[in-house]
Amino acid sequence: MAAKLLISCILSLFLTFFFKPSNAAYNVIDLGAKSDGETDSTQAFLKAWAAACSSVKASTIYVPTGRYLIKNIVFRGPCKNKIAIQIKGTIVAPTDYHVIGKTGNWILFVQVDRVSVIGGTLDAQGAGFWACRKSGQNCPVGSRSITFDWASNVMISGLTSINSQLIHLAINSCKNVIVRNVKLIAPDESPNTDGIHIQSSTGVTITGSIMQTGDDCISIGPGTRNLYMSSIKCGPGHGVSIGSLGWGVNEDGVENVTLTNSRFTGSDNGVRIKSWARPSNSFVRNVLFQNIIMKNVQNPILIDQNYCPHNQCPHQASGVKISQVTYRNIQGTSATAEAVTFDCSPGNPCRGIILQDIKLTYMNKAAATSSCKNIGGMSSGVLMPESCLYEG
């Protein structure tokens, strides 16, 4: 009996390892895509997705070297098994910015689970759209380069995105997303080209990534929870920003956010929390910014609860409650004399703010200053500039 059981186990292992069903593989070239950068390959990509999504086996979609012209495209789930999209080449948008700029999204994933996007380059060719925006003409709404809506268990690894019309990578209403080793690049004067925007999502991890943009390197919107960011290189750009929050009265908040072991170079801001000066039930709590290097950053540490771009100022007290925010081991140089600015709400003062081991200089001198309004917390360790926090 024991011998039969042993043979059965060996046979089972043999079948598992040597006769395991292979993954399904779909090459976009085989389905009609052209790698010349001029022929519309949208339908070939959709065919590859339809085949992979309906496969009961785990699937891989291959995009070989070359340039592939893609118009607006939606990869919709749910699918029957996991899908890996392996990109060796470059996916390009049409040069006419109107083509992809009408819908808000260039490449959109909806309700997918266990999808990974690995390698490759996205080039949205956004220069014409930026020029339209700057000229004040009647422009289309513009498109994010790659968006995930209502997705779970997603990985984006080794992807490069350049010249996005708007946000490079948007993560909306998602769970368990890993973003690693991505490069998101647009000129510093390109409007609203945020690197990554996260909103209404839980369990997002961003590591080892480079962001050089015309807006926030990472923007963190309402409903973001359990966000971990590490080894980020930001600049140029507007820094890592929580917000803007508080435009709506019943807006969700942001909590459990960590940024660590990162570097900011020449950015307009470093670590920033911003909210509109108007009534709201929103909040920011349990945030840690630690082990960060600033190099010639205009506002290295900033809380702005009177956020007012383009002179759209509500002139009220922000209802957003900011609490339990820690700044630890932040060093480097400020491009402005005031390196630390806390402009909190008079109606809802910031509480539980902690400064620990801050060393920020201005013009290579210990001459930087700090400013505090409506804030309570505590300070410890080396503090340059001198802390303006009061205990509370």
> What's the rounded Cα separation, in Å, for the pair 92 and 162?
10
Q: What are φ and ψ of residue 197, in 5° steps?
A: -120, 125
Task: Give the number of other CB atoms < 10 A from CB of residue 390.
Answer: 11
> What's the rounded Cα separation, in Å, for the pair 133 and 40?
26
Cβ 262 vs Cβ 325: under 8 Å: no
Distances (CA, A) of 234 to 184, 185, 196, 244, 261: 10, 10, 11, 19, 12
Catalytic residue among 168, 238, 310, 315: 238
Which one-letter amino acid corresponds to residue 64? P
Cβ 33 vs Cβ 73: under 8 Å: no
Cβ 75 vs Cβ 42: under 8 Å: no
Angle CA(146)–CA(217)–CA(162) in degrees, nearest 5? 45
Task: Give the number of other CB atoms < 10 A from CB of residue 295.
Answer: 17
Tell which residue, 235, 239, 232, 236, has the closest CA to residue 216.
239
Cβ 171 vs Cβ 197: under 8 Å: yes
- DSSP-derived letter for residue 387 is P
Cβ 51 vs Cβ 60: under 8 Å: no
238 is catalytic: yes
Angle CA(115)–CA(116)–CA(118) in degrees, nearest 5? 160
Angle CA(220)–CA(372)–CA(315) in degrees, nearest 5? 65
Which two structure tokens, joined as six digits, stand for 139? 């422009």
Catalytic (active-site) positions: 238
